[in-house]
Amino acid sequence: MRYLITGGAGFIGSHLAERLLEKGDRVVLLDNLSTGSMENIRHLKNSERLDYHLDGIENRQLLVELVDDADVIVHLAAAVGVKLIVESPVRTIETNVNGTQLVLEAASKKKKLVLIASTSEVYGKNSNVPFREDSDLVLGPTTKGRWSYAASKALDEFLALSYWKEKKQPVIVVRFFNTVGPRQTGRYGMVLPNFVKHALSNTPIEVFGTGQQSRCFCDVRDTVEALLRLMPLDRAVGEVINIGNTEEVSIENLAKIVKQRTESSSPIQYVPYDKAYEPGFEDMMRRVPSIEKLHSLTGFRPQTSLSEIVDRVSAYFRQKGDLHLGHEISVSKAV
């Protein structure tokens, strides 16, 4: 099989490419390196079955050529991370919506399967957990830029499902719930790598808000396994599927677990949302997936424990030896 992965030099994309190459598939990566990194795919570059293009989706001629040459397109390219979303809402909306539209348009000419990466963010302020794929999406007002990411990804989903309904363009939409693991950067406000980097450097771990907000963290290996099982399934086409772990933890307790697992002396500090992001910043208290649909389709449930995930991320940063924090800040909000 020949796979095109947009955002292929990113965190999830590089892990997916790695697994596909191990299976003997051919992989083409398209990434403009706005949030991805060559370091993520450096170990794959010697493979004869890997090609990569350092360019953007907006290069329509290149995109059409790459889509035409692929059997499956995995669309992971997106603006991600709370910090980026709050600071660059125009970039967030344009990158997500325009990019998805261009990919679907190119794929629809020859009805190539497109897997669209969405996010648990689309559930917004819905408090009815666990979130099922048919749950209502409850977003905040348009005056709060924080919701632009969720709105843009929801529009991606509407667009993808409309292409399936109207044009019979095969699509699968997956909603990621805080995928984490080695190679994930804290640059745009990803909570776990930031906590771990601060813990390893024995600097303060900053928890935004009260720390009582809770999340579920899914090991990137489990996320990739779910993708590999879904893509061959005809019955997954036209469906929206949650991908996540159901082990729930408060952000405050996450900080304590990270501190304990790394044997760190870092103090835990609490920072109000208004100071961390912008006045009136809104967050959701819980985000827990229902993964019954994923299990019924694939027989698979992500089950890597949080302690193992923390240990894997810690080992990655220790091996990398780069604990320079630069302008990164630890945050209690993860997209």
**Residues annotated as catalytic (active site), given as ranges:** 149
Query: Is there a contact between 70 and 5 (Cβ–Cβ < 8 Å)?
Result: no
Nearest to 293 by CA among 250, 334, 233, 214: 233
- 305 CB neighbour count, 10 Å cutoff: 12
Question: Dihedral of the CA atoms 14, 17, 18, 20 (nearest 10)?
Answer: 160
Tokens in use for 208? 């935004």
Tokens in use for 188? 């745009």
Cα distances from 51 to residues 70, 198, 246, 277, in angstroms, run: 12, 35, 36, 39
Tokens in use for 316? 């990655």
What's the rounded Cα separation, in Å, for the pair 288 and 212? Answer: 14
Residue 135 identity (one-letter amino acid): S
Cα distances from 5 to residues 66, 178, 180, in angstroms, run: 10, 20, 19
- Listed in sequence order, the residues at least 6 apart from 321 whose beta carbon sits closer than 8 Å to its beta carbon are none
What's the rounded Cα separation, in Å, for the pair 320 and 323? Answer: 8
Q: Which residues pair with 42 in a beta bridge?
A: none
- 45 CB neighbour count, 10 Å cutoff: 10
What's the rounded Cα separation, in Å, for the pair 305 and 307? Answer: 5
